[in-house]
Amino acid sequence: MNAVDPTTRTLLDMLHEGAYLLDAEQVITYWNPAAELLTGYPAGQMVGNRCSDARLMHVDANGRLLCHDGCPVVATLANGENRNADVYLQHREGHRIPVGVRTAALRNDQGRVVGAIETFIDLSPPDEFLKEIASLRQMAYLDPLCGIANRRYVEVAIEARLRELSRFGWSFGIIAMDIDRFKDVNDRFGHEMGDAVLRAVSSTIRNALRSFDLVGRWGGDELVAVVANADHSVLKACASDCSLFS
């Protein structure tokens, strides 16, 4: 399989999801920084290994080892079909981590499957959001008032999702929100109270969404949620939850 082109590498490097690429022989050819963070394994220890010989030890909810039977990415390599699955991987330190996995085939100009991509997100509860905040702050993508992503990062996330949609067919949705009568709050109670309202609404909406969705401040009292892997019913449910507070 050819080396990852610079644009694709830049986008994959920016993802909060772990991501890796395999060639047709199931050899790992790319391993992104988020995969390093989520698994504890640096790229240097993963690239060049066959996925079945690597260290992740994917198992299902019943403890069945999937590397040689039932592996989603191997099945995608075999028939070219996208897959979603909730499984467990083994961290470098030995503990199991629940992850949501998505796979898609990579094809050449003739349409032949020449590799695959797998992305995975940590489904462990709450401390993952704190890691996300720390990462956003480090990249200067955090809105300092609300403690969520800023407009710059929302734009980057939308661009990444559009590329995923174009290349892999992974759907997503965007929810635009604002706070009703926010100007009245500022005029009547002052900007300090308005800032407190913004922080409260932002936090509440962030907690109403799934751990791998993104909410950011677009500007003023305008908020935007980028909802990953969403069909119409998922997006409608998320929008209904958000509308209770926006």
CA distances from 201 to 148, 178, 237 (A): 11, 10, 18
Question: How many angstroms separate the CA atoms of 59 and 63, rounded?
Answer: 5
What per-residue confidence (pLDDT) applies to 99? 92
What are the pLDDT tens digits along the chain (246 aa)?
Answer: 456 777 778 888 888 899 999 999 999 999 999 999 999 999 999 999 887 775 777 887 777 788 777 788 889 999 999 999 898 888 887 778 889 999 999 999 999 999 999 999 988 766 666 676 667 666 678 898 998 999 999 998 999 899 888 888 888 999 999 998 999 999 999 999 999 999 989 988 887 788 788 999 999 999 999 998 888 888 888 887 676 444
Residue 97 CA, chain-centre distance (Å), reads 16
What per-residue confidence (pLDDT) applies to 50? 85
Contact in structure between 88 and 64 (CB atoms under 8 Å): no
What per-residue confidence (pLDDT) applies to 133? 66
Contact in structure between 45 and 31 (CB atoms under 8 Å): no
Of 67, 116, 82, 121, residue with least CA distance to 98 = 121
What per-residue confidence (pLDDT) applies to 245? 44
- Pairing assessment for the beta strands 18-23 and 28-31 based on DSSP bridges: antiparallel
- The domains found in the chain, sorted by start residue, are 6-123 (3.30.450.20), 128-243 (3.30.70.270)
Residue 171 burial (CB count, 10 A): 16
Contact in structure between 215 and 173 (CB atoms under 8 Å): no
What per-residue confidence (pLDDT) applies to 4? 73
Phi and psi angles of residue 33, each rounded to the nearest 5 degrees, phi first: -60, -35
State which H helix or E strand residue 240 sits in. helix 232-243
